[in-house]
Structure 1
Amino acid sequence: MRHFLVLATLLTSAAWAADVAPPRNVVNFEAQATREVANDLALATLFVELSDNDPARLAEKINVALAGALKQLKQYPTVQSGGTSFSTFPLYTPKSNKQEGWRSRGELRVSSKDFAAISKLIGELQKPSVSSAAMQLAEVRYAVSDELRSKAEEGLIEEGIAQFKRRAAVIQKSMSASDWKMMSMNVNTSSFRPEMRSMMMKNAVMMDSGSAPAPIEGGESRLQVNVNGSIQLAD
């Protein structure tokens, strides 16, 4: 008897659901808001790459170079360290394919909102010293800092929702509806940063003591907010 009651309840619920008509006059659409925001954060990757027959001696050379770079970094309080990394791989002769030594690479990542300071630091790290090898510049890239991005996105969200409401009013008028109400809404943010001209610094010649720091131009990133959802038009 209990099984019969459960089955009857399920059948009744299914029949009731089938009788419920889907919402009428529902329109799905989206709106966008974009803004060009100046990149206020520079991120650079520098590296030192050396070879040696003795892996322990090679590791020591890389460690000395990285330690020297970190020591110089401490002289720039407005430049932050993004950490270091270390990798080693064997070297083989082309003909006999026998191992002939080792090659290691150490990397240092730095970032700063102070473009002048990070530019000067990059120049100094590329100078060879008596105790260690010079660093080389792998890349410089730019971004919008989290603080600036959050502030800009708040304004864009307001603009995107306002644009969504304007489009809803246009749709209502075009469909000769008396009113509209919100059914659902999704808000998504994204950004686009074009290739930066400063990437030519990757192959920059190492500076001597009389050289001026290489100029850094951050450019802009395009922040975008997409607002999509659905409204229901009143008859």
Structure 2
Amino acid sequence: MKQLLAATLLGTTAMVASAQGGGPTHDPAPAGVLSLSAQAATEVPTDVVHMTLAAEQEGAEPGAISSSLSAKTQEVIAQAKRTSGVQAQSGGFTIYPSNDKNGRISTWRGRAEVILESRDFSAVSKLAGQLAGQMQVQNISFSLSREARHAAEAKLTEQAVASFREKAQATTKLFGYGSYTIREVQVSEAGAVQPMPRMYAAKAMMADSAPVPVEGGKAQVTVTVNGSVQMLK
């Protein structure tokens, strides 16, 4: 995995408060406080695919369209659930009128969706091809599983914390101090999946009973450590 480490020195704070004549006296703010930020990031292959299938129908009776699309949705979900490693659930379901130039309803249109999710890219690819006669692929997206994300975050946390400590020690010496103690620290995680080109989804829609091409991308996982230390002589 390609890894990137970055540590950023945010600045130092050294303040001394003095009492004003005749005014209230305040305790001096601590001097030699150093604020730091360290970050570790890596790219991890996405391991979960989300595929949206859809069917559309047109007719004179909205009830008939609704019944037909409902039956097709149930059939597709049932077939998908018989495929090992694939999860399926219903998605959007709409029935709406289409008007003529005079504003009168000329026909009715309906659309039903089924959403597939799997870590087995080969299985869902083959299934989508088999279902092409009933529902076609409309969109494909990818994500990182919880297990993969947690594993990446665990390694990155070690790296970010080590980077924070190293930066704190090195910067403390630059300011003429001998050591430091940690005042406060926060650890946060973030992640983003690289978007899939739209042409890929459009190409998948044209698949006819053949397996739909499914290839995941990369997800970037980042761990950031923010905090402050008290520099000591």
TM-score range, shorter chain: 0.7 to 0.9
Residues in 2 aligned to 1:49 and 1:141: alpha-carbon distance in whole angstroms: 21
1:147-198 Cα shifts (integer Å, max 9, x gaps): 1111211111111111111110111121111111111111111112212258
Output the amino acid matched with 1:118: V
2:230 is aligned with 1:232: yes
2:104 is aligned with 1:103: no
- Taking only the aligned residue pairs, the percentage that are identical comes to 29
Q: Report matched runs for 1:138-149 at 5 Å.
A: 138-149=138-149
Q: Report matched runs for 1:10-49 at 5 Å.
A: 15=24, 18-49=25-56
The structural deviation recorded for 1:28 is 1.2
2:175 is aligned with 1:175: yes
Output the amino acid matched with 1:207: D
Structure having the higher Rg: 1
Q: Residue 93 of structure 2: which of 62, 73, 86 is its match?
A: 86
Residues in 2 aligned to 1:172 and 1:90: alpha-carbon distance in whole angstroms: 71
Output the amino acid matched with 2:39: Q
Matched position secondary structure for 1:105: strand
The structural deviation recorded for 1:90 is 2.0
Q: Structure 1, unaligned stretches of length 5 or more?
A: 1-13, 128-133
1:73-128 Cα shifts (integer Å, max 9, x gaps): 022121012443312222112x212222222211111111111000001111112x
- Equivalent pair of 1:184/1:231 in contact (CA under 8 Å): yes
Q: What is the aligned partner in structure 2 of residue 122 from structure 1?
A: 128
**TM-score w.r.t. length of structure 1:** 0.83
Q: Report matched runs for 1:164-203 at 5 Å.
A: 164-197=164-197, 200-203=200-203
- Equivalent pair of 1:48/1:135 in contact (CA under 8 Å): yes
Output the amino acid matched with 1:178: G
2:69 is aligned with 1:62: yes
Residues in 1 aligned to 2:45 and 2:170: alpha-carbon distance in whole angstroms: 33
- Equivalent pair of 2:81/2:88 in contact (CA under 8 Å): no
Q: What is the aligned partner in structure 1 of residue 136 from structure 2?
A: 136
- Equivalent pair of 1:35/1:223 in contact (CA under 8 Å): yes
Higher relative contact order (CA 8 A, sep 6+): 1
More strand by share: 2
Instruction: Give aligned pairs, total.
Output: 210
Matched position secondary structure for 1:19: coil
1:15-49 Cα shifts (integer Å, max 9, x gaps): 5xx52111211111211001111111111111112
Q: Report matched runs for 1:155-170 at 5 Å.
A: 155-170=155-170
2:213 is aligned with 1:215: yes
**TM-score w.r.t. length of structure 2:** 0.84
Q: Residue 112 of structure 1: which of 107, 118, 123 is its match?
A: 118
Q: What is the aligned partner in structure 1 of residue 84 from structure 2?
A: 77
Q: Structure 2, unaligned stretches of length 5 or more?
A: 1-22
The structural deviation recorded for 1:219 is 1.9
- Equivalent pair of 1:42/1:218 in contact (CA under 8 Å): yes
Residues in 1 aligned to 2:33 and 2:89: alpha-carbon distance in whole angstroms: 50
More helix by share: 1
